[in-house]
């Protein structure tokens, strides 16, 4: 059964299933909150374009809905799940190789979402420090300015962290870290000195990495930081990601025995 037909069926029976989903969500909530919660969740937001295609929408609309979903998920993490650090993979370096029209559309959506985030009262309420990770030198002037604004506005907050990966690639991040070390006169690399020069310096490593859309790879996401992260892959496209999908991923994380190589 193709995804377009599934989406139609879900929409048709949604009003019938809603009470069942709410009951299931309540059950999941009780289950996961009775166990150790991850402190850092990282998410690869995959499937915006395929969601748009399967639902007869323009590609830009898929990214718009994906951006709104990211804001919704952040709200879950802060208001209900009490996740300390959230990292989202919004745009990779390799994404710039897409057709120019798609890149331009997506940059417009990213700019709109950053403007919205900058004035979101949620950041102040929960003390969320925002950091953009990635090679910001390749971003356009408008987005770089917004990045600086939102980072400056939240730099004194220390209750929660939100990392947004834009123009990001894990190999590029490590290479930039080594260049920073050279500039700072570091003559001997250790895991500790490398970590201090990464984009995520002084933040906890991700406990759980979630990727949506059915793809089962990291695509260069947090290569250094993910050494002992638990990985969960879900088939749902990012704009369709539900709270129960998040809680299922957390439940999967809780069932795994984390040995950290020992």
Q: Is residue 29 part of a domain?
A: yes
Q: Is residue 215 part of a domain?
A: yes
Give Cβ neighbours of residue 81 (< 8 Å, ≥ 6 apart): 37, 246, 250
- Identify whether the C-beta of residue 43 lies closer than 8 Å to the C-beta of residue 66: no
Q: Is residue 56 part of a domain?
A: yes
Q: Is residue 49 part of a domain?
A: yes
- Identify whether the C-beta of residue 246 lies closer than 8 Å to the C-beta of residue 216: no
Cα separation, 38 vs 21, whole angstroms: 23
| pLDDT, position 20 | 79
| pLDDT, position 7 | 57
- Identify whether the C-beta of residue 158 lies closer than 8 Å to the C-beta of residue 121: no
Q: Is residue 262 part of a domain?
A: no
pLDDT digits 0-9 by tens, 197-244: 999 999 999 999 999 999 999 999 999 999 999 999 999 999 999 999
- Identify whether the C-beta of residue 247 lies closer than 8 Å to the C-beta of residue 77: no
Q: Is residue 181 part of a domain?
A: yes
H-type alpha helices, the chain: 3-32, 48-54, 59-76, 100-118, 121-126, 141-154, 170-183, 191-196, 243-255
| pLDDT, position 23 | 87
Cα separation, 236 vs 32, whole angstroms: 21
Q: Is residue 204 part of a domain?
A: yes
Lowest mean pLDDT among 21-30, 90-99, 105-114: 21-30
pLDDT digits 0-9 by tens, 131-156: 999 999 999 999 999 999 999 999 99
Q: What domain count does the chain have?
A: 1
Place of tokens 């709200």: 75
Lowest mean pLDDT among 6-15, 87-96, 103-112, 216-225: 6-15
Please, what is the average pLDDT of the chain? 92
pLDDT at 12 over 60: no
pLDDT at 22 over 90: no
Among 45, 39, 99, 20, which Cα is nearest to 229's? 39
Task: Determine the average pLDDT of the residues in 161-189.
Answer: 97
Enumerate the active-site residues: 46, 95
| pLDDT, position 188 | 94
The CATH number given to whatever domain includes residue 207 is 3.40.1180.10
The strands making up 230-233's β-sheet, listed across from edge to edge, are 128-133, 160-165, 85-89, 40-44, 208-211, 230-233
| pLDDT, position 222 | 98
pTM: 0.91
- Identify whether the C-beta of residue 109 lies closer than 8 Å to the C-beta of residue 69: no
Q: Is residue 100 part of a domain?
A: yes
Place of tokens 């209750």: 159
| pLDDT, position 9 | 53
**What domain range includes position 192?**
3-255
- Please report which confidence band the pLDDT of residue 4 belongs to, taking 50, 70 and 90 as the band edges: low
| pLDDT, position 36 | 93
């Amino acid at each position: 059964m193709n995804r377009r037909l599934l989406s139609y069926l879900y929409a048709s029976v949604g009003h019938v299933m809603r009470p069942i989903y709410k009951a299931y969500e309540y059950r999941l909530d009780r289950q996961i909150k009775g166990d150790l919660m991850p402190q850092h969740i990282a998410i690869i937001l995959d499937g915006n374009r395929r969601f748009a295609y399967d639902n007869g929408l323009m590609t830009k609309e898929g990214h718009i809905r994906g951006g709104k979903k990211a804001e919704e998920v952040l709200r879950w993490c802060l208001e209900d799940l009490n996740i300390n650090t959230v990292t989202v993979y919004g745009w990779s370096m390799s994404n710039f190789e897409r057709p120019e029209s798609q890149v331009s559309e997506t940059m417009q959506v990213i700019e709109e979402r950053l403007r919205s985030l900058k004035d979101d009262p949620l950041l102040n309420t929960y003390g969320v420090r925002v950091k953009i990770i990635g090679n910001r030198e390749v971003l356009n002037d408008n987005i770089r300015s917004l990045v600086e604004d939102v980072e400056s506005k939240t730099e004194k907050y220390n209750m929660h962290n939100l990392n947004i990966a834009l123009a990001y690639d894990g190999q590029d991040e490590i290479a930039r870290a080594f260049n920073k070390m050279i500039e700072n006169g570091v003559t001997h690399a250790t895991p500790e000195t490398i970590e201090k020069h990464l984009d995520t310096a002084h933040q906890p490593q991700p406990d759980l990495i979630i990727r949506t859309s059915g793809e089962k790879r990291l695509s260069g996401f947090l290569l250094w930081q993910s050494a002992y992260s638990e990985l969960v892959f879900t088939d749902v496209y990012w704009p369709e990601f539900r709270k129960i999908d998040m809680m299922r991923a957390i439940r999967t994380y809780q069932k795994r025995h984390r040995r950290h190589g020992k």
